[in-house]
Amino acid sequence: MKFGLFGIGSGICAQPAVSKAAAQAAEARGFESLWTGEHVVLPDPREAPSPAPPEFPMLHPSTSLAFLAGVTETVKLGTGIVLIAQRNPVVLAKEMASLDVVSSGRLLLGIGAGYLHQEFDALGIPFAERGARTDEAIEVMRALWMQDKPAFDGRFTQFSNIDAQPRPAQPGGPPIVVGGTSEAALKRAVRSAQGWYGFALNVEQTGQVLERLRQLADEVERPAALGPLEVSVTPALRTDAGVVDQFAGLGVHRLIPMMPQDSEQAVQGQIDELGGLIAAS
């Protein structure tokens, strides 16, 4: 089992000194990865299904992770998740290639379609197009990362006679990890990604999703170059040795517990507690 931490760029960890201390402590304790979330804006007043009040601080993922890349050496840096349907994929491909370069190939690119219609409204992007935009954006980014002469002719994006250097440090680009439990997200993970990420799930919910992923493996064509699908989960319950064993028994490869968001002392306490589990595993 690999261990990550979610929330490195939000809440109390939106403060650079706190996130630096947390990242360095996590790396020293053997954590494999650190993960950010993303919302460009949040509805004010808060409306369902918004995950946080509008005043909750969230750093831009690539800004936060580029900063942490400069103060760490080995820990991987994950976006959990980038809402790529809200982005220009040509710009995002350059942004994430740059992050992969400055981190010496440590980026894990978690992506999702998004679910807050208020956010899409503020950005002027049709909410109903988010799934189609997400699927196309994955193809666009890989074209820019992998093709000798990048060209693309899609529904939302078209280009030719261009290049974008430098390419990512990782050959083929950073691994793409699809977040979400919708049928569309699960099919997208099997069809197009190296990994799947489930957020705030208990053991039973995770088992149900993994069963569906196994079924989809027989229904959806998966390129051999993607390799086996890696499964990551942020548990919806306190992570102890028994919980780790239960998720491992399901076939989960990485657990990404959520860090406390309100105090540096609580963050460091959780890193120490989970670090003990890592040392014992």
**Lookup: tokens for 187:** 């099919």
pLDDT in tens, 91-148: 999 999 999 999 999 999 999 999 999 999 999 999 999 999 999 999 999 999 999 9
Q: Rounded to an integer, what distance in angstroms lies between the CA atom of residue 69 and that of residue 53?
A: 29
Yes or no: say if 246 and 205 are a contact pair by the CB < 8 Å rule.
Answer: no
Q: Rounded to an integer, what distance in angstroms lies between the CA atom of residue 124 and that of residue 86?
A: 9
Q: Give residue 281's pLDDT.
A: 84
pLDDT in tens, 74-85: 999 999 999 999
The reported pTM is: 0.97
Quote the strand ranges of 165-264, DSSP E.
176-179, 195-201, 230-235, 254-255
Q: Give residue 157's pLDDT.
A: 98
pLDDT in tens, 168-183: 999 999 999 999 999 9
The three-point CA angle 215-219-223 to 5° equals 110
**Lookup: tokens for 83:** 């809402």
Q: Rounded to an integer, what distance in angstroms lies between the CA atom of residue 221 and that of residue 85?
A: 23
Yes or no: say if 78 and 33 are a contact pair by the CB < 8 Å rule.
Answer: yes
- Return the CA Rg of the chain: 18
pLDDT in tens, 181-232: 999 999 999 999 999 999 999 999 999 999 999 999 999 999 999 999 999 9
Q: Rounded to an integer, what distance in angstroms lies between the CA atom of residue 197 and that of residue 258?
A: 13
Q: Rounded to an integer, what distance in angstroms lies between the CA atom of residue 100 and that of residue 173?
A: 8
Position 28 pLDDT exceeds 90: yes
What are the structural domains of the chain? 2-280 (3.20.20.30)
Q: Rounded to an integer, what distance in angstroms lies between the CA atom of residue 256 and that of residue 199?
A: 9
DSSP state of 258: B
